[in-house]
Structure 1
Amino acid sequence: MPTLTPLIAQRADPHIHRHTDGYYYFTASVPAFDRVELRRATSIEGLAQAPTVDVWIKPDSGPYSELIWAPELHFNEGAWYVYFAAAPSREIKDKLFQHRMYAIRNSGPNPLEGEWEFMGQIDTGIDSFCLDATTFSHKGVLYYLWAQKDVAIEGNSNLYIAPMASPWQLGGPPVMLSKPEFDWEIRGFWVNEGPSVLKRNGKIFISYSASATDENYAMGLLWADENADLLDPGAWTKLAAPVLRTCYEHRVYGPGHNSFTSGADGDTVMLVYHARTYTEIIGDPLWNPDRHTYVKALRWDEAGMPVFGSASQA
């Protein structure tokens, strides 16, 4: 298999949305953590050279004025939404940053144009560190899926799901689906974060990332039957082993915080994730800008389960 090269340099937490207008839309955390940046192209490969547009820039002060993390672009109920996490400062309290989750909306056909409206905080009913929101629809219900701290559970964050009353408001209480528990999830930090949803073969899959954001970062998988009650934690199965991890042989380190999109044929599932190409990081890995966006095709086994393969190979 050929060795992968990054699609886009220095873009972490990448999210690619293929829309009905024929365009692929890309957003990610920028190294300065100060804005929401979008680009679009008619192919995945074209995103690499597509011009970027800053659609929202953080204010100078206030509750969402620092550390803009992990934006995701979704088209929900006839409008574009970007969900992102932001903090009031770079201060760490009780070993955590102070992020909460927010949404902006654009009702125009092209999210790179027109006005974006700030919709406010996505209130989960739990006042604690939270981030990495995504949304998906299933059987007529819009769901919100994210990572959040529970003070009664060891670690930085667990995964939660809730129905939505609107694309910027929850319609029910959070339900915890996963927490850090396996050895590979608790290296450096106890973390479950960065969830992404894929529907295929009669199942709902949730990929997620765990451990510190250095070479220990890796991806796990949950799944449920498509006819199950997705708000029932017992409906979900969690793999004990990671599905994507560092490839030391080809020097691709800490793959994670993925999204899914479709290939040019409309059927192939493309895995979008970030990784580093070296481990000699000075200081906190969070501030290192060299997490790059990779894209590769997902494969499937005979049981209809996704095969993620190597982080370094197509």
Structure 2
Amino acid sequence: MKSIFRLCVLLCAFACNAQQKGSFLNPLLTSGPDPWVTYKDGYYYYMHTVGNHLELWKTANMAKLGEAPHKNIWTPPATGPFSKDIWAPEIHFLRGKWYVYFCADEGDNQNHRIYVLENSAADPMEGTWEMKGKVSDPADKWAIDASVFEHKQKLYMIWSGWEGDKNGEQDIYIAEMKDPFTITGKRVRISRPTFDWETHGDLNDPKLPHVNVNEGPEILKHGNKLFLFYSASACWTDFYALGMLVADGNSNLLDSASWKKSTKPMFLQSPETGVFAPGHNSFFTTPDGKQNWILYHANDNPGDGCGNKRSPRMQPFSWDKNGMPVLGKPVSVKTPLRMP
């Protein structure tokens, strides 16, 4: 009987160990605001806001991001228009080359603009990153959180910006690009914060500006629909959440009427699971394309604000019968998730 009991204990331990090896817990890193990931040739390439340089991670499994090699791929000059406040970098493979888009200024937030680097190496962890300069439409207003996507052989940039020259509201803009570093034509505003859940900005603190926010736009394609997810309300509030615009794939994406906004947030804080201010997301699939995942940052406690307490997390999501994304609720950091 003792030998049978020992065998059962060993089998149980083996099964439990196998289960642990097949699962993971959020967060993926202890800190990492504004996470972004893209996939190519068997590897995921990940970035987040570091602030004073650009860091790139490479991994075959996003659940093991904490074990992945990473390196500083670009350090800004000591002075100049893109020397400070380097936010929201994204790496993209476009038309045979790698590009990293980021926003920066010289130390004055009013001068934040979008910049791009280019690398022709097959592996973006290698090669040389060349500054291609500022990416701007003719208006050249304050701009952050750029993302780029291709649709029907056309290239588009989406970003968050000011309509004028004063802070107070951040809107979502789109413009067509003739190449990965040149916008052609005027920007088009496709979203501005109008619902209550988009307009939490002052946190009852007179030291903080009151701003109504739409920022961090990201594209998700499914069927013949384009979904543009964005972050709403100020990032220093717990009300930071994800909103969504939808456009038909055959519509004119440069026509603001083509984009229909959801009246309710799609992903928001979950005090019952201990997740606050979830936002600034991206999406990825497993290599076989069968599983869909959302990557986002969030805080563990209310009032943690818009700093380095924000950590990257990921969880699977699904689609409903109408082809609409169902993101669910942010998962607790204590909840094991099956590895993708």
TM-score by length of 1: 0.92
Deviation at 1:155, TM superposition (A): 3.2
In the alignment, what sits opposite 1:49? 67
CA–CA distance in 1 between the matches of 2:94 and 2:136? 18
SS class of match (2:65): helix
CA–CA distance in 2 between the matches of 1:156 and 1:167? 27
CA–CA distance in 2 between the matches of 1:262 and 1:24? 10
CA–CA distance in 2 between the matches of 1:190 and 1:59? 32
What amino acid maps onto 1:303 in structure 2?
N
What amino acid maps onto 1:209 in structure 2?
S
What amino acid maps onto 2:316 in structure 1?
A
CA–CA distance in 2 between the matches of 1:267 and 1:117? 35
In the alignment, what sits opposite 1:160? 173
SS class of match (2:128): coil
Alignment map for 1:172-211 (pairs within 5 Å):
172-188=185-201, 189-211=211-233
Match of 1:7 among 3, 12, 28: 28
Deviation at 1:54, TM superposition (A): 0.5
Segment drifting more, 44-53 vs 210-219: 44-53
Deviation at 1:151, TM superposition (A): 2.1
In the alignment, what sits opposite 2:135? 122
Q: Deviations over 1:178-222 (max 9, x none)?
A: 001110001013011101001102200000001111311000000
Alignment map for 1:215-226 (pairs within 5 Å):
215-226=238-249
Deviation at 1:265, TM superposition (A): 3.2
Segment drifting more, 51-60 vs 73-82: 51-60
- Given the alignment of the two structures, is residue 307 of structure 1 paired with residue 326 of structure 2, yes or no? yes
SS class of match (2:257): helix
CA–CA distance in 2 between the matches of 1:280 and 1:239? 27
In the alignment, what sits opposite 1:278? 301
What amino acid maps onto 2:44 in structure 1?
Y
- Given the alignment of the two structures, is residue 146 of structure 1 paired with residue 159 of structure 2, yes or no? yes
CA–CA distance in 2 between the matches of 1:190 and 1:206? 18
Question: Are the aligned partners of 2:59 and 2:69 in contact in 1 as well (CA < 8 Å)?
Answer: no
Match of 1:243 among 266, 285, 305: 266
CA–CA distance in 1 between the matches of 2:81 and 2:73? 19
- Given the alignment of the two structures, is residue 267 of structure 1 paired with residue 280 of structure 2, yes or no? no
What amino acid maps onto 1:301 in structure 2?
D
CA–CA distance in 2 between the matches of 1:179 and 1:154? 14
Segment drifting more, 120-129 vs 192-201: 120-129
In the alignment, what sits opposite 1:18? 39
What amino acid maps onto 2:135 in structure 1?
I
Match of 1:292 among 311, 328, 335: 311
SS class of match (1:145): strand
Larger-gyration structure (1/2)? 2
Higher helix share: 2
What amino acid maps onto 2:216 in structure 1?
G
In the alignment, what sits opposite 1:109? 122
In the alignment, what sits opposite 1:83? 101
CA–CA distance in 2 between the matches of 1:270 and 1:125? 36
Question: Are the aligned partners of 1:219 and 1:256 in contact in 2 as well (CA < 8 Å)?
Answer: yes
SS class of match (2:197): helix
In the alignment, what sits opposite 2:257? 234
What amino acid maps onto 1:304 in structure 2?
G
- Given the alignment of the two structures, is residue 27 of structure 1 paired with residue 47 of structure 2, yes or no? yes
Q: Evaluate the alpha carbon distance shift between residue 190 and residue 4 of structure 1 in structure 2; reply closer, same or farther with a 3 A threshold.
A: farther
Deviation at 1:152, TM superposition (A): 8.4
SS class of match (1:157): strand
Question: Are the aligned partners of 1:3 and 1:312 in contact in 2 as well (CA < 8 Å)?
Answer: no
Structure 1: runs of 5 or more not aligned: none
Deviation at 1:159, TM superposition (A): 0.6
Segment drifting more, 127-136 vs 101-110: 127-136
Deviation at 1:48, TM superposition (A): 2.0
Question: Are the aligned partners of 1:155 and 1:180 in contact in 2 as well (CA < 8 Å)?
Answer: no
Question: Are the aligned partners of 1:192 and 1:211 in contact in 2 as well (CA < 8 Å)?
Answer: yes
Q: Deviations over 1:86-133 (max 9, x none)?
A: 0111x35xxxx4210000000000111110000000022223221000
Q: How many residues align?
A: 301
CA–CA distance in 2 between the matches of 1:98 and 1:61? 14
TM-score by length of 2: 0.85
Q: Evaluate the alpha carbon distance shift between residue 63 and residue 152 of structure 1 in structure 2; reply closer, same or farther with a 3 A threshold.
A: closer
> Which portions of structure 1, spanning 4 or more consecutive aligned residues, are displaced by more than 6 angstroms?
none
Q: Deviations over 1:28-57 (max 9, x none)?
A: 102xx0011001111112322112110011
CA–CA distance in 1 between the matches of 2:285 and 2:218? 14
